[in-house]
Copies of this chain bind each other. A is one copy, B any other.
C-alpha cells in the first residue's frame, strides 16, 4: 500500500467560525473545561470526588494523603490539559493558561528522580512499578500526558511539560525495549504508541518514534509478554490465569497475535482504536507499507462489518468490546463515546496515509452522530453508552441493559468520555484540511478560515453544513498560485456540482476526492453544491437485528424517532416504503437544524392479552417526526429508535 504523506493544517491555523462547530467549541471552552477543572479539583457538589489533581499534589509533596481513584486517574488531568491546550490555541485565556501552568508545576514536582511519573504507583505499590502492564495503566497515563505536553507546547511555546514527558519517555526507554536486560513489554491499554509519535513530531527526536514502533511490533509475539509478567508475579501462571477475562485476556487488548497479522477488530473498542491509530502513525512516519495495509484491513473490518450507522463501535457491554462481524444489536450495545472518538483518530490517520473518501466519510459519520450524542445540547451532561434504541423501562430493569443510561449524566466514576469529547471538539480544526505536494485537501466542511503557512495559502469556508450541502470556499491568499484544491465528495452524496467563480469547474475525481488544479488568484470562489436528500438506509441482511427496517440519514446526520414527538411504543410505528420524506426547519431546541416528517402508520393498540390470531395487524395513519440522533434525549427521558420498520 503506497503511503502518501498528507500533513494536517494544525488547530492554530484553522479558525472555526461556522455556527455549528463554533458553538460546540464555545461550550467546551465556557462550560466543559471549567466544569471539568472543578471536577478534577473535587469542587463539584454531589459528584464523587475525582482526587486526580490531589493525587499529583500528594506525590509532589504539596499535600498529605493517599492515592484515590482508578489506576488511570492521572489520565483525566492529562485529557483536561490537552483540551485546554487546544482551546488556548485560538482563544488565549490567561486565567485558563495559569491554571494549566499551575497543574504542570505540580506534575513536574511529582516526577520522580528517575523520570517516573504515575501517582498510583508513586503513592502506593511503589515496588510494583512496571510489573503488571496488562491491567495497570502506567504507559496509558504516560501517553495521555505526552499528548497534553505536545499540545500545550504547540499552544503556548512553553516546554515545561514536554521536558517532563521527555524524562518520562527516557524512564520508559530505560525499562522497555530491544536492549539486553530490558523488559519486552507493551501496554495493556494502548495509547502511548500514538502519543510517542506526537512526542517525535513535537521534538524531532527519532527515539520516540522508535519506541512507538517497538511497542507496536512487540505486541502479540510469543512468548507472550503478559504471560511472562504473570509468571514473574507468581511462578507458573499465565495472563489468562490472572485475568478476569480468562482466555480472552489476549483478545481483549489486541495482543492475541502480532498486529500485522490482525485483520478483524476485536476486544475493547477504545483500546483497539488507540492501537490502530498508533499503528497508522508509525506506518506513515516509517513508510511501512505492510503495517499500513494491516491498518486498512482493520479499518475496513470496523467500518464495513462492525460499525453502527451512527459511527458507534463496540457491540457488547462485556469488555466494552467488539464481538464479530454483523453482530450489531441496537438496544444492548456499548458504543462508547470514547470509542467513536477513537475511530475518528484512526480514520484521520488513515486519511494522511491514503486520500480516500471512506476515511473522511467515517470521520463525519462518527462525529455528527456517535460522538456528538455523547454530550447534551447544553454541554453539561454526557452519555458514556450510545445505544440506537432505548426503551427506558427495559433499560432500567433489565440486567443485560444495565450499562444503558436513559439520560445523560453529570459525571462518571470512570470519567473517560467527557474529557475525551472536550479534546476532540477543541481540536476539530486539525481534522479539516491537509496539504501535500499536490496542494490542499478539504476533508470536512466546517465554516472556518484556514491559514496554510508553508504554502502561503489562505482559505475561507462558508457553509451551513451539515444542515445544507452548499459550501463556498474563497481563496484569500495564494502565494503558491498553482495547486490542486481537493474536495471530498462524501459517499452519501450522489449528485453534486462544483463551480469556480460561477463557472462549472474542471476537476478530476479520484477515490472520492474532486481535485481542481489551476492557477489560483486571491478572491477566487469555489462553490460545491451537494444534493442532500433524505435517504432511507437499509442494512445488509447479514445484520440480523435490522431486518425489514430503515434508518433515515440526511447528509452525514442519522435521524431517530423520539417519544417526545411520536408518542410511546416506537416499535409500533412504521414508515411505509412509499411515504414521502419531508425536510422541515426545526424550532425551539431544534432551531437552525432540519427535521424529517413523514406520513407513517401506527399499530392499533390492543385491549389486553399478549397474542392473537384475530388482529390482522390493524394500523392507523400517523405523522412521524424524526430528529437528529445526536440531539436525542434533550427533552427528558423517553423512548428512542433509529431503525424504523418499513
Interface residues of A (CB under 8 A from B): 303-305, 307, 309, 316-319, 323-324, 326-328, 332, 391, 393-394, 397-400, 492, 535-545, 547-548, 551, 553, 569, 571-572, 574, 577, 603-606, 608-613, 615, 617, 645-646
17 residue pairs bridging A and B, Cβ less than 8 Å apart = A304-B608, A316-B400, A323-B397, A323-B398, A324-B397, A327-B394, A328-B610, A332-B400, A537-B611, A538-B612, A540-B606, A541-B569, A541-B572, A541-B604, A542-B606, A543-B610, A544-B571
How far, in whole Å, are A10 and B537 apart by their CA atoms in the complex?
A: 61
Number of copies: 2
> Quick check: B539 and A611 within 8 Å, CB to CB?
yes
> Quick check: B571 and A610 within 8 Å, CB to CB?
no
Least Cβ distance of A555 to chain B in Å? 12
Main secondary structure of the interface of A (DSSP, over half): loop
B400, B536, B617: the one within 8 Å of A400 (CB): B400
Question: Which residues of the partner chain B approach A327 to less than 8 Å between Cβ atoms?
Answer: 393-394, 397-398
Least Cβ distance of A335 to chain B in Å? 14
> Quick check: A304 and B610 within 8 Å, CB to CB?
yes
* CB closest residue in chain B, given A646: B617
Question: Which residues of the partner chain B approach A610 to less than 8 Å between Cβ atoms?
Answer: 303-305, 307, 309, 326, 328, 539-540, 543
* CB closest residue in chain B, given A547: B571
Least Cβ distance of A612 to chain B in Å? 6
Known contacts A553-B613, A617-B646: A318-B537 contact under CB 8 Å = no
5 closest Cβ pairs, A-B complex: A318-B399, A535-B613, A547-B571, A541-B572, A544-B571
B397, B540, B574, B611: the one within 8 Å of A540 (CB): B611
* CB closest residue in chain B, given A608: B304
* CB closest residue in chain B, given A615: B538
* CB closest residue in chain B, given A389: B544
> Quick check: A645 and B548 within 8 Å, CB to CB?
yes
Question: Which residues of the partner chain B approach A553 to less than 8 Å between Cβ atoms?
Answer: 613
How far, in whole Å, are A604 and B540 apart by their CA atoms in the complex?
A: 9
> Quick check: B544 and A391 within 8 Å, CB to CB?
yes
> Quick check: B400 and A609 within 8 Å, CB to CB?
no
Question: Which residues of the partner chain B approach A617 to less than 8 Å between Cβ atoms?
Answer: 538, 577, 646
